[in-house]
Chains A and B, each alone.
Chain A
């Protein structure tokens, strides 16, 4: 039973009648509604404060309490680290004892950065670090041209240049044995090699583990499970102490090289599992479509599956990089003095006893700066790669 309705301008479908809703049997809209702006929402800082922190009596009180705790907790730290601190000077006498004595750091700064690298040759480290920074900047800053070329140079040309510059022995450059490397430059060397080496190796292992070829699969599984199963300390220890036992006397493996290989293999096993998680998440249809178009295995992986999979697991990959960076400290176990070890060795210097706090705070800050930079960049990268899917 339908009711004939003469259509008014914007007929309501359920007009209230005598205080309750009476649905009509037939109703038709004759004019489409135009979109209207959303109701006035609170904008800006004040709006944010109102909505997030002070949007009710309980929340307001909680916010105030948390704020008070923060102020109470952070003020002494800021007081010690910044306000009462001593920044300028060359010897221990410059430390007044009230706040942090950053003179400890500034006086030993050269050792912290270069380790035991001979003075005369330090410019080579400067060149290498500057080149590394420039390459990273070029690749990271958007809209700069020729990134694939720069990337290729960074992966192939730069390691060779760094090797020649840092180690020396050719082109008239003095040979600097790796046991004289130390401090920040050693940390960066180990971390960079580890990061740049573990990702491709991890990808290969992940693909190998997913392969249907039994030999490839077994080798990948064995590699991953072995290197994942032993602590990094034992890896470094075994590399340093045990490897010479298995190798003929004439062959001498540079200590740093052993550490680099051990670290790279160890982290590639972790990376492999992270990447494998990403590969599993890509719908089978993607590979099928790529197959149907005639793309071979490596093209399918390189052009279709891996770009999507790696993008998916950027958080996991960067996590692994950050862990790698921090774990470079473990090279202490084989007698290499990275950033942390150099700072600690300064604590035993008789001129500078008692500044352990400043040392460790500085070391923590340095690590944090590098790790947070990686983390920030990963978020930028994720946002850039988000293309609506």
Chain B
């Protein structure tokens, strides 16, 4: 099931030291409940600048919920989240400040269907960052070219394939020039032929030094690009380690079971 990605993988050893510098994201004692269901349990996590993290685990383990807490798409009941020095509170201003700095790519793309590709990328720049139209469009075209979809700029999302839409979604998030990018199973809704084109874009992004947290089942991507792989189950972080250690010498039995299932076919 994992897709082989051919690229030079020089990067992750060098940036492993990034975690020691001032952390980009700090999560301490994070707990979240959906009603009575304890979905995130005592999560502690630190993410350094430029660090690439892959979060994996079975369904319902809370991995999507965790990253959605980081930009307040989900509200947590206990614990502390700090992104780029800003602590997350209930204050809307704080939340929006964090959101301006954190880009997110969703499993189902969530492009705005009533706007063209170019307008999708410009709308937040114009209305949140107050950039003039021309500047916003220039930035948008730059990122659309980076994800290799500039020729579709005037089309509407309904006219694009899944892989193309996801690449537009990545460009849209990048246009805000965030410090952190969150990916919530970005390739899970794509068929195999399109997965590669999206993963290639993500690998390039990683190699350019973007801090990334990626929830995915694409273990090939994890091996190539991740500085750290985190395994979650039942709302807790079971194990985290650099890919070589994680895939070759997993410590926990639960991790071993999961890996045997996911890598077995």
Contact = CB atoms under 8 A, between A and B. Distances in A.
Interface of A: 283, 285-286, 288-296, 299, 303-304, 307-308, 311, 385, 387-389
B108 A285 contact: yes
A338 B204 CA distance: 69
A292 B173 CA distance: 8
B156 A294 contact: no
B99 A294 contact: yes
Interface string B150-178: 00000011110000000001001100100
B124 A389 contact: no
Contacts of B128: 293-296, 299
Contacts of B114: 307-308, 311, 385, 387, 389
> Which range contains the number of B residues in contact with the other chain?
20 to 34
Contact of A303 (B108, B111, B127, B169): B127
A385 B158 CA distance: 13
B123 interface: yes
A293 B106 contact: no
Contacts of A311: 114
Interface string B38-73: 000000000000000000000000000000000111
Interface string B81-102: 0000000000010001001101
Contacts of A291: 71-73, 99
B158 A292 contact: no
24 contacts: A285-B106, A285-B110, A286-B110, A288-B106, A288-B110, A289-B110, A290-B112, A291-B71, A291-B72, A291-B73, A292-B99, A292-B103, A292-B173, A294-B128, A294-B176, A296-B96, A304-B123, A307-B114, A308-B112, A308-B113, A385-B114, A387-B156, A388-B158, A389-B157
Contacts of A292: 71, 73, 99, 102-104, 106, 173
Contact of A389 (B104, B106, B123, B156): B156
A108 B14 CA distance: 91
Contacts of B159: 388
A312 to B, nearest CB: 10
Contacts, number: 72
B95 to A, nearest CB: 9
Which of B71, B73, B127 counts the most chain A CB atoms within 10 A?
B127
A296 B96 CA distance: 7
A388 B156 contact: yes
Contact of A295 (B102, B124, B173): B124
Given A289-B112, A291-B99, A303-B127, A389 B158 contact: yes
Given A293-B172, A296-B92, 10 more contacts: A286-B110, A289-B111, A289-B112, A289-B169, A290-B112, A293-B124, A293-B176, A294-B176, A296-B128, A308-B112
B112 A294 contact: no
A293 to B, nearest CB: 4
Interface string B196-227: 00000000000000000000000000000000
Contacts of B92: 296
Nearest to B160: A388
A283 B72 CA distance: 18
A171 to B, nearest CB: 41
A389 B104 CA distance: 23
Per CB-CB distance, the 7 closest pairs between chain A and chain B, nearest first, are A289-B110, A388-B158, A293-B124, A389-B158, A389-B113, A292-B104, A285-B110
Contact of A293 (B99, B108, B113, B156): B99
A289 B156 contact: no
Which of A288, A304, A311 counts the most chain B CB atoms within 10 A?
A288
Interface string B104-141: 10101011111000000001100110000000000000
Given A288-B73, A292-B73, A387 B99 contact: no
B41 to A, nearest CB: 24
Which of A288, A292, A387 counts the most chain B CB atoms within 10 A?
A292
A311 B113 CA distance: 12
A385 B99 CA distance: 31
Nearest to B157: A389
A291 B71 CA distance: 9
Given A292-B102, A294-B176, A389-B157, A286 B73 contact: no
A289 to B, nearest CB: 4
Contacts of B106: 285, 288-289, 292
Given A294-B176, A389-B157, A299 B113 contact: no
Contacts of A307: 114
Contacts of A295: 123-124, 127-128
Nearest to B112: A304
A293 B114 CA distance: 17
Nearest to B74: A288
Contacts of A388: 156, 158-159
Contacts of A296: 92, 96, 128
B124 A294 contact: yes
Nearest to A307: B114
A299 B113 CA distance: 16
A294 B123 CA distance: 11
A299 B92 CA distance: 14
Nearest to B73: A288
Nearest to B104: A292
Nearest to B121: A293
A231 B128 CA distance: 45
A296 B124 CA distance: 10
A295 B157 CA distance: 20
A289 B68 CA distance: 11
Nearest to B126: A303
A207 B173 CA distance: 27
